[in-house]
Structure 1
Amino acid sequence: MAQLPPGIRFITLFSRDQWYRAFIFILTFLLYASFHLSRKPISIVKGELHKHCAASHEVELNSYREYAAQIQPVKKPSNVSQCGWEPFDKNNYKQLLGALDYSFLCAYAIGMYLSGIIGERLPIRYYLTVGMLASGLFTAMFGLGYFYNIHNLWFYIMAQVANGLVQTTGWPSVVTCIGNWFGKGRRGLIMGMWNSHTSVGNILGSLIAAYWVSTCWGLSFVVPGVIIAVMGIVCFLFLIERKCFSLIKTIENCTMSLNSGTAVTAEGRHGTSAISFLGALRIPGVIEFSLCLLFAKLVSYTFLFWLPLYITNVEHLDAKRAGDLSTLFDVGGIFGGILAGLISDRLEKRASTCGMMLLLAAPTLYMFSAVSKMGLEATIVMLLISGALVNGPYALITTAVSADLGTHKSLKGNARALSTVTAIIDGTGSVGAALGPLLAGLISPSGWNNVFYMLMVADACALLVSLKILWSCDVFPLCQAIYIKMQIFLLQFQYSLL
């Protein structure tokens, strides 16, 4: 009898349930990677929106007539500006670019609190599809400013605000979906691997944007916009938002169950009503981890939006090469997220893992600010290390910790709190994500070293606000266990003396 081909034997090693889990894992990974892919171009294009032309700013005008001659309206060729793209070609370009970041992130933070509540009450597949299609539209809208020669600051700000609002549909939806399909076993490792979609999306977004940034920066936004819109269609066609009670059923029965709204989760039928906002805040650990993420995300998003420009200034590279080099920070973030998940699973202590990485991150940032000025090789090494330590706690809190809290034992089986809890934690974190780039834009004119000092203070604050949860969840139970073992040992010792 002929043996089965190796590929068929491999397929039969796994059950249908395992194949569905793998499919949802990959699909949600790609869906959210496309969200970050569409956010990254602005950081790459900054170096093109403003080009260094110090000489033009330092020219001293000797007379009013000479000054007037220089400011006479001259018709320039389309898309050509001496110091970049108007209005970002002025001396206050850092503040203007910071305003773009702040507009997106403020809208994202505000929208996130509402998104989780809405997401609990709507079918995830429809909600996520609409959000992705709208994200594609507004991402491409920013790039259309290039093709239509638009130089109005408010056009770009409104594009950022609209995009920030619609992108809030993504995170609560995909975390809820992945949480519905995967239980608590090895959740840290699985979600650490899954959360690398953030870094993968940033890397792909950087490479795509960098490809066109020097020749036609409008395409740096239009192409990612098209990609996320296409992924929205894929989401509509293929996403199954929760695991059916028995995946031995045919996919047709599962789909009928989902469409009729009677799907049964793996956790059972408990808690069919969505949790309130205040109810989610009362879950132990939600407030502490939310504040911790606020400071952790402040650091991460400052790197996300300002790292290419920093590399351009320090290493004196063009926008494309700086964008390519900045991807190493996200490569380090992939390993950091996986390592954080693996350690937290092994120790069964999420808070301790976050605290340890935050403790190491602050001195590493100081080393980065000093070593990055010593040459390209040193910058590469520090980008990888900093990316791992900065993104590790951020990745762990937004995935495994959020999923743990969204299915906390205090909910008594109510599985419909996951989206709201995720939105609260990530929404609070997004406040920090909005503040970080804004502060970087305000502080950077006084020197990049001051920006790094601000980031180190933020990491220290993240560690401080996590001390309460670190003590209650990890340190106190550990001390209690040690105390009980000592008591048992003393009793046994006294008994042996009798």
Structure 2
Amino acid sequence: MNLLRNTSTIWRFRIFGLTWLGYFGFYFCRKNLSVANVSMQAEYGFDNNDYALMVGVYSLAYMLGQYISGYLSDKYGPRIIVGTGMILSILANLFFGVMGTIVVLVMLAGLNGLGQSTGWSGLVKNMSSWFRKEERGVVMSWWSTCYVVGGFLGTLFATYWLTNQSFWPKLGLTRVFWAPALVLGIIAGAYILFTRNKPDRHLSTEDQESLREHDDETVSIKDLLNNSALWVAAIMYFFIKFTRYTYLFWLPTYLVQGLNYSAENAGYTSSIYEFVGFAGVIFAGYLSDKVFKTRRFPVGSLMLFGLSIVLVLQPILTGMGHVPTMIAIGLIGFMTYGPDSLMSGAAAMDIGSENGAAKAAGFINGIGSIGQLLSPFIVAFVSNHFGWEMLFKVFVFTSLISAILLASKWNFGKKEVLEEKVKMDTLKVKTN
């Protein structure tokens, strides 16, 4: 039994680590475009509208791919689906480094979006097969740091290759795309070779029985669509992803064009968003498991109300200098990433259960990706016609709507918590 328990622990650590690295690596081939944007505009004669088109096509492919990859990961398993997506993203970035026409770059952005779309739903599916509901808030809070750390280090990594001429100086902008592709290539090889879709034969009998608690339930697309909690989470995710992807793709551009930062300073300063966002992810996960007893919606609601307050203060803080600007960016990252990771990760797993986790995650992320799709065009329009500060007023509105939506499902999951308590009390009585 001890040997089986040790084997279970090793396998769960392996799956956690490799799936974490998988989504972490995706971000290296995603954040590099935002860092390179200003330099690409100068070298190729692009403007914000051209960049918005690239981001828009990427987001469209990413949005549509979410629904497809969620279904395919539930049906065929995430290993082959996510592995294929990694390869597509690598190819897109390799060609990104040698193509300079807007038409080709837009097409490659779409290919990258399609490849990247396999990541979240597939890897959430992978995790749901190996970890129980009562531990998902904490486990998924640590796991969800993959895209926060990936965004943070991906930004620094791309900024290094953009500004440092120590290696491959003749390649110029090409380095910003080839170096991240190499990182993702190494991770893809490890993921494909060493992960497994399900814990068959790899966990102890006790763990397998616990994880298969819902195996007899058939979770169809119709069942999911009839669940109002899924729609609340998805609509909220539309607004939060609109906000997050604006910061993800446009923050360096805003710092250069709106606050007159250098490209290097903007790249490093923008990484604060993900750096502090890491703490927000962990905070949200622990709060949902330990304080709210596996309820995710109250935590997301409270943090989004906090986000609206920070966004009201943001223009004031940026007018006070570099350090207050960094504080504002960090607080926004903290309040954004917490509910973002919680609702698209642990909450999606709770709503979809083991058999429908990928479909639920894909649906929530797919609806959210509509916000992601619209964000570049709205950002380009608002920044060109009304100035950058108007955007933060828009974000105040979207964060308040999101907070109210989640508050409407404040007690979602409470019934399941009570049933689990009764079950545990019954077991204690029988034992005694």
Contact 1:128 1:173 in 2 (8 A): yes
1:398 to 322, 344, 352: 344
Q: Is 1:127 matched with 2:81?
A: yes
Distance change in 2, residues 1:457/1:269 (3 Å): closer
Mean Cα displacement is larger for which, 317-326 or 464-473?
464-473
**Secondary structure of 1:374's aligned partner:** coil
| Map of 1:74 onto structure 2 | none
Q: Is 1:307 matched with 2:246?
A: no
Paired letter, 1:305: F
**Secondary structure of 2:271's aligned partner:** helix
Q: Is 1:49 matched with 2:5?
A: no
| Map of 2:119 onto structure 1 | 170
- Report the CA distance between 1:188 and its aligned residue: 1.1
| Map of 2:329 onto structure 1 | 383
For structure 2, the 5+ residue unaligned runs are 166-171, 419-432
Q: Is 1:440 matched with 2:379?
A: yes
| Map of 2:48 onto structure 1 | 94
Q: Is 1:356 matched with 2:302?
A: yes
Provide the C-alpha distance between the structure 2 equivalents of 1:471 and 1:120, rounded to a whole number of angstroms: 28
Q: Is 1:288 matched with 2:232?
A: yes
1:459 to 395, 399, 405: 399
Per residue, is there more helix in 1 or in 2? 2
| Map of 2:311 onto structure 1 | 365
Contact 1:142 1:159 in 2 (8 A): yes
Provide the C-alpha distance between the structure 2 equivalents of 1:118 and 1:183, rounded to a whole number of angstroms: 22
- Report the CA distance between 1:460 and its aligned residue: 1.7
For structure 1, the 5+ residue unaligned runs are 1-10, 51-83, 250-262, 408-414, 479-498
Contact 2:312 2:396 in 1 (8 A): yes
Contact 2:256 2:263 in 1 (8 A): yes
Paired letter, 1:461: I
Q: Is 1:241 matched with 2:188?
A: no
| Map of 1:258 onto structure 2 | none
| Map of 1:156 onto structure 2 | 105
Paired letter, 1:283: N
Contact 2:74 2:356 in 1 (8 A): yes
| Map of 2:421 onto structure 1 | none
Contact 2:272 2:326 in 1 (8 A): yes
| Map of 1:144 onto structure 2 | 98
- Report the CA distance between 1:144 and its aligned residue: 1.5
| Map of 1:298 onto structure 2 | 242
Give % identity: 26
Q: Which runs of 4+ in 1 moved over 6 A?
A: none
1:27 to 9, 18, 22: 18
| Map of 1:64 onto structure 2 | none
Provide the C-alpha distance between the structure 1 equivalents of 2:210 and 2:369, rounded to a whole number of angstroms: 30
- Report the CA distance between 1:270 and its aligned residue: 3.3
Provide the C-alpha distance between the structure 1 equivalents of 2:414 and 2:351, rounded to a whole number of angstroms: 15
How many residue pairs get aligned? The number is: 404
- Report the CA distance between 1:330 and its aligned residue: 0.2
- Report the CA distance between 1:473 and its aligned residue: 5.8
| Map of 2:268 onto structure 1 | 324
- Report the CA distance between 1:440 and its aligned residue: 0.9
Distance change in 2, residues 1:101/1:269 (3 Å): closer
Q: What do you get for the CA RMSD once the two structures are aligned?
A: 2.5
2:147 to 193, 198, 201: 198
| Map of 2:362 onto structure 1 | 423
Work out which of the two has the higher radius of gyration on C-alpha atoms and give 1 or 2.
1
| Map of 1:335 onto structure 2 | 279
Provide the C-alpha distance between the structure 2 equivalents of 1:19 and 1:118, rounded to a whole number of angstroms: 27
Contact 1:352 1:474 in 2 (8 A): no
Distance change in 2, residues 1:156/1:454 (3 Å): same
Contact 2:67 2:363 in 1 (8 A): yes
Mean Cα displacement is larger for which, 237-246 or 95-104?
237-246
Q: Is 1:17 matched with 2:8?
A: yes
Paired letter, 1:196: T
Paired letter, 2:22: L
User: In the TM superposition, what whole-angstrom CA distance separates every residue of 1:352-387 from its partner, at most 9, and x where no partner exists?
Assistant: 111100111012012122211211111121222111
User: In the TM superposition, what whole-angstrom CA distance separates every residue of 1:101-141 from its partner, at most 9, and x where no partner exists?
Assistant: 11111111111111111222213212221111111001222
Distance change in 2, residues 1:458/1:474 (3 Å): farther
Contact 1:116 1:423 in 2 (8 A): yes
- Report the CA distance between 1:301 and its aligned residue: 0.8
Contact 2:31 2:151 in 1 (8 A): yes
Counterparts of 1:465-476 in structure 2, within 5 Å, are: 465-470=405-410
**Secondary structure of 2:134's aligned partner:** coil
Mean Cα displacement is larger for which, 282-291 or 333-342?
282-291
Distance change in 2, residues 1:235/1:472 (3 Å): closer
Provide the C-alpha distance between the structure 1 equivalents of 2:55 and 2:202, rounded to a whole number of angstroms: 45
User: In the TM superposition, what whole-angstrom CA distance separates every residue of 1:31-89 from its partner, at most 9, and x where no partner exists?
Assistant: 11001121001110112123xxxxxxxxxxxxxxxxxxxxxxxxxxxxxxxxx12231x
Paired letter, 1:267: R
- Report the CA distance between 1:266 and its aligned residue: 2.8
| Map of 1:230 onto structure 2 | 186
Q: Is 1:219 matched with 2:175?
A: yes
Provide the C-alpha distance between the structure 2 equivalents of 1:264 and 1:438, rounded to a whole number of angstroms: 49
Provide the C-alpha distance between the structure 1 equivalents of 2:231 and 2:201, rounded to a whole number of angstroms: 32
**TM-score normalised to structure 2 length:** 0.88
Provide the C-alpha distance between the structure 2 equivalents of 1:467 and 1:171, rounded to a whole number of angstroms: 25
Contact 1:245 1:264 in 2 (8 A): no
Contact 2:27 2:150 in 1 (8 A): yes
Provide the C-alpha distance between the structure 2 equivalents of 1:133 and 1:474, rounded to a whole number of angstroms: 41
- Report the CA distance between 1:423 and its aligned residue: 0.5
**Secondary structure of 1:181's aligned partner:** coil
**Secondary structure of 2:345's aligned partner:** helix
Counterparts of 1:71-86 in structure 2, within 5 Å, are: 84-86=42-44
User: In the TM superposition, what whole-angstrom CA distance separates every residue of 1:261-314 from its partner, at most 9, and x where no partner exists?
Assistant: xx98831583486x4332321234111111111101111111000111112234
**Secondary structure of 2:180's aligned partner:** helix
2:133 to 174, 178, 184: 184
Paired letter, 2:255: I
